[in-house]
Amino acid sequence: MSSWPAETKYISKSTPRIDAPAKLTGQARYASDIQADGWLYGMILRSKWPAAKILSVNLDKARQVPGIKAAITVKDFPQTIRFYGEEIAAVAGTSKQACLDALRAIEVQAEPRNDFVVNEDDARKENAPQVWDSRPNVSPGRSREQGTVDQAFTECAAVIEGSYSTAVQIHHPMETHGSTVSWTDEGVTAWASTQGISAVRDGMAGALELDHSQVRVITEFMGGGFGAKQSAGIEGVLAARLSREARAPVRLMLTRFDNSLAVGNRPSSFQKIKIGALADGTLHAFEMNAYGTPGINGGANIPAPYIYRIPNTRVNQSTVLVNAGPSCAFRAPDHPPASFGMESAMDDLAVKLGMDPLEFRLKNDSNEIRQREYKLGAEKFGWKEKYQKPGSSAGPVKTGIGCAGAAWPAGGASRRTQGDAQINPDGSIEFRLGVQDIGTGTKTVIAVVAAEMLGLKPEQITVKTGDTNYPPGPTSGGSTTCASISPTVYDICANALQQLQTQGGIADARGDNWFAACKKLGVTPLVVHGQWQQGLSSSPAYGVQFAEVAVDTETGLVTVKKVVAVHDCGLIIDKLTTESQINGGVIMGMGYALYEERVMDDLSGVVLNPNFETYKLAGIADVPEIEIVLINMPERGVIGIGEPATVPTAAAIGNAVANAIGARVGSLPITPAKILAALGKVPPFTASKS
């Protein structure tokens, strides 16, 4: 079986990302930068009603707007609208201004309906308006029972009950969703801002009734996805249809407003948890009743009791549909809410037991890697020196600490990943993989692995990705990309070395022999193929994080001072990009903890914060000192890190806040209003849910 080299020159070292110069000088062309000859702008008309029947749409006046080349409706009529922001029509024209004018000229005849519901609690009521005629709002989710739960609670020395909730979070990649699509007689070419070029090709071909071979998807650069850009999307299909009608390429990028409404989110969660432990601190009984909303479609299940094994466990979950945009995969789907609920309950129970929350975890977390991570992290963080009883920090600005654990069990690799390399007689080499770099450093990973295996420098490796004309690669989801492509590149290199030996007779073509070996190819370049190989990657990934916060008890402001993130990701390919992923996970988790929430208006059904001035992301001044500890386990092979790094952050911060003020804020985001309410300084906070 294949194995990674023990001594390395580039693997596990720091190589700056190879496409940094292009990104830093503005030369990188993102989907939104593509300007194909004769391109047109595309824009979408969205519903201003959360529920309505669209009787007809008249596009005549829109078509007469100067510069407008195409106008289409999304569906046939009558169209049933189920959420604010649902797509109704689209236009394409020679300028943004022409499109804006045309959207205003579209005449929509509709019957708005008042029987909509955007709040989970209202949607669960017996006579609630139904989001779908064909099914109830509430559907049973993942539920299970083991042991004798009711009796077990009576055997516990300490039992707590708590309510923990998490808000709907929006992905908000900096580049909005969208693409430039050109439909000609030869077929469709789409320059898409996507995490999955193959998925977009297949989805678009399906929607447009074309052969897969007639659709080519190109994604040289894209501006972030976080799970939301894994399919062609309605906007991609609309761009293609507009292109067909206009007979010109159409660039249809969503606005930030559009991006807030209709292209995915992380479902909310409302978790009622009862948990008990025996006198020695052993977890003994657990019960959770939970629900959440994914919007009009999707599921809201979470794993419970998350990373712990409790002999007596009862879990009841349900999914509640509301009139809001549908959810989709979001960086470690289901895990951050699960971690927040369970790890909050763990700390509340530790307090009741009079135990140090870290000791309590070490007693109950059976995972060996996390055990080691907790011990290492506690030392780096100074847990023992910093830990105080909840609320015992002196003065109006109270400090507190907390910790939480994570697992990312999905992960793994896409075993069908393939790639080619063309080796030219002059020694230049180009790798071609049908994978996309979503900002994680995929191109750099290819260069690092290739340089290591061939004895070259990363800058000698030309990397071509993001094109469905290259051999198929994985969708970048589930933290699988690095573990999919690294073994593939390993295999391509192994095959290349073997062929160079066969063709040129040089036993080892690596390093100093490289150019001589390539010269022996004569005039014909060598093209070698490779595919994912067993034994070079694995899963799952484990991690723990520690957070230190300062809470101003007069204003309610929470400042995160420090986070120590301890993660295992097997064999590290590039240390620099690995660290960046962990920074990113922590910062996104911090936003989830303190700032981010989609706010819906119960009465009008609209999203109240569909842009960045009201949907708050962490800024540079909010970001704490982040200390990263990587557990080096090369024998496990390559393991993705993008998702596990964001899982425990919100829980660790929430626990640190509770430790600081001596009261639990069980609802994310932990806003100043909720802090003051928990301290009894203002009336209880009633947030708009969802």
Partner 1 sequence: MKNTEPEKFGAHSRRTFLKSLGTVAATAATAQVQSVAAELEKANAEKTAGPGAVPVTLTVDGKNLKLMLEPRVTLLDALRNYAGYTGAKEGCDRATCGACTVLLDGLPIYSCQKLAIEAQGVEITTVEGLATGSKLSPVQQAFLDADALMCGYCTPGFVMSVTALLKKNPHPNADDVKHACAGNTCRCGTHPRILQAALKAAGVETAGKTEVIDYV
Residues 150-189 that bind partner 1 (CB under 8 A): 172-176
CB 573 within 8 A of CB 486: yes
User: Which range binds partner 1 by CB under 8 A, 179-187, 489-497, 622-630, 672-680?
Assistant: 622-630
Residues 477-536 that bind partner 1 (CB under 8 A): none
> Binding partner 1 by CB under 8 A: which of 631, 663, 682, 687?
631
Q: Which is nearer to partner 1, 404 or 582 (CB)?
A: 582
**Which residues face 14 on adjacent strands?**
none
According to the binding rule CB under 8 A, does residue 630 interact with partner 1?
A: yes
CB 4 within 8 A of CB 632: no
According to the binding rule CB under 8 A, does residue 37 interact with partner 1?
A: no
> CA-to-CA distance for 288 and 102, rounded, in angstroms?
51
Q: Which is nearer to partner 1, 423 or 588 (CB)?
A: 588
Q: Which phi and psi angles does 655 have, rounded to 5°?
A: -70, -35
Binding mask of the shown chain, residues 290 to 329, with x at each position contacting partner 1 by CB under 8 A: ----------------------------------------
According to the binding rule CB under 8 A, does residue 557 interact with partner 1?
A: no
> CA-to-CA distance for 651 and 649, rounded, in angstroms?
5
According to the binding rule CB under 8 A, does residue 226 interact with partner 1?
A: yes
Binding mask of the shown chain, residues 372 to 391, with x at each position contacting partner 1 by CB under 8 A: x---x---x-----------
> Binding partner 1 by CB under 8 A: which of 80, 148, 163, 255?
255
Q: Which is nearer to partner 1, 603 or 621 (CB)?
A: 621
- Residue 97: CB atoms within 10 A of its CB come to 13
b/e per residue 267-293 (b: at least 16 CB within 10 A): bbbbbbbbbbbeeebebbbbbbbbbbb
The SS3 of residue 320 is: strand
Q: Which is nearer to partner 1, 98 or 518 (CB)?
A: 98
User: Which range binds partner 1 by CB under 8 A, 183-191, 339-347, 413-421, 618-626?
Assistant: 618-626
DSSP of 254-290: --HHHHHHSS--BPPEEEEEEEEE-TTS-EEEEEEEE
Q: How far is the CB of 317 from partner 1 (least distance, A)?
A: 29
Residues 80-99 that bind partner 1 (CB under 8 A): 95-97
> Binding partner 1 by CB under 8 A: which of 250, 445, 628, 658?
628
**Which residues face 568 on adjacent strands?**
631
> CA-to-CA distance for 231 and 454, rounded, in angstroms?
35
Residues 353-372 that bind partner 1 (CB under 8 A): 369, 372
What token pair was written down for 255? Answer: 């606005």
> Binding partner 1 by CB under 8 A: which of 243, 312, 580, 671?
580
Q: Which is nearer to partner 1, 500 or 653 (CB)?
A: 653
User: Which range binds partner 1 by CB under 8 A, 81-89, 314-322, 507-515, 623-631?
Assistant: 623-631
DSSP of 135-148: S-SEEE---EEES-
According to the binding rule CB under 8 A, does residue 209 interact with partner 1?
A: no
Q: Which is nearer to partner 1, 243 or 317 (CB)?
A: 243
C-alpha torsion sign, points 173, 177, 436, 180:
negative
According to the binding rule CB under 8 A, does residue 195 interact with partner 1?
A: no
> Binding partner 1 by CB under 8 A: which of 111, 213, 619, 681?
619
Q: Which is nearer to partner 1, 271 or 581 (CB)?
A: 581
Only one residue has tokens 């620099």, namely 576
According to the binding rule CB under 8 A, does residue 576 interact with partner 1?
A: yes
Q: How far is the CB of 465 from partner 1 (least distance, A)?
A: 14
> CA-to-CA distance for 264 and 186, rounded, in angstroms?
32
According to the binding rule CB under 8 A, does residue 617 interact with partner 1?
A: yes
Measure the CA angle with vertex 407, ends 406 and 409; round to 5°: 160
> CA-to-CA distance for 361 and 355, rounded, in angstroms?
10
User: Which range binds partner 1 by CB under 8 A, 74-82, 111-119, 607-615, 665-673?
Assistant: 607-615
Q: Number of residues interacting with partner 1: please give it, by CB under 8 A.
A: 73
Q: How far is the CB of 611 from partner 1 (least distance, A)?
A: 6
> CA-to-CA distance for 548 and 544, rounded, in angstroms?
14
Interhelix angle 233-246/197-208, rounded to 10 degrees, is 60
What token pair was written down for 345? Answer: 């309950």
Residues 4-33 that bind partner 1 (CB under 8 A): 12, 16-17, 19-21, 23-30, 32-33
According to the binding rule CB under 8 A, does residue 542 interact with partner 1?
A: no
Residues 387-446 that bind partner 1 (CB under 8 A): 438-441
Q: Which is nearer to partner 1, 54 or 253 (CB)?
A: 253
Q: For the chain, how many residues are written?
A: 690
Spatial CA neighbour of 622 closest among 590, 651, 599: 590
Q: Which is nearer to partner 1, 492 or 582 (CB)?
A: 582
Q: Which is nearer to partner 1, 253 or 273 (CB)?
A: 253
Q: How far is the CB of 590 from partner 1 (least distance, A)?
A: 9
Distance separating the N- and C-terminal Cα atoms of the chain: 50
Only one residue has tokens 């069908």, namely 416
Question: Which residue type sits at 596?
Answer: E
> Binding partner 1 by CB under 8 A: which of 196, 203, 223, 466?
223
> CA-to-CA distance for 380 and 373, rounded, in angstroms?
10
Q: Which phi and psi angles does 266 have, rounded to 5°?
A: -95, 125
Show Cβ contacts of residue 457 under 8 Å, excluding neighbours closer than 6 positions: 451
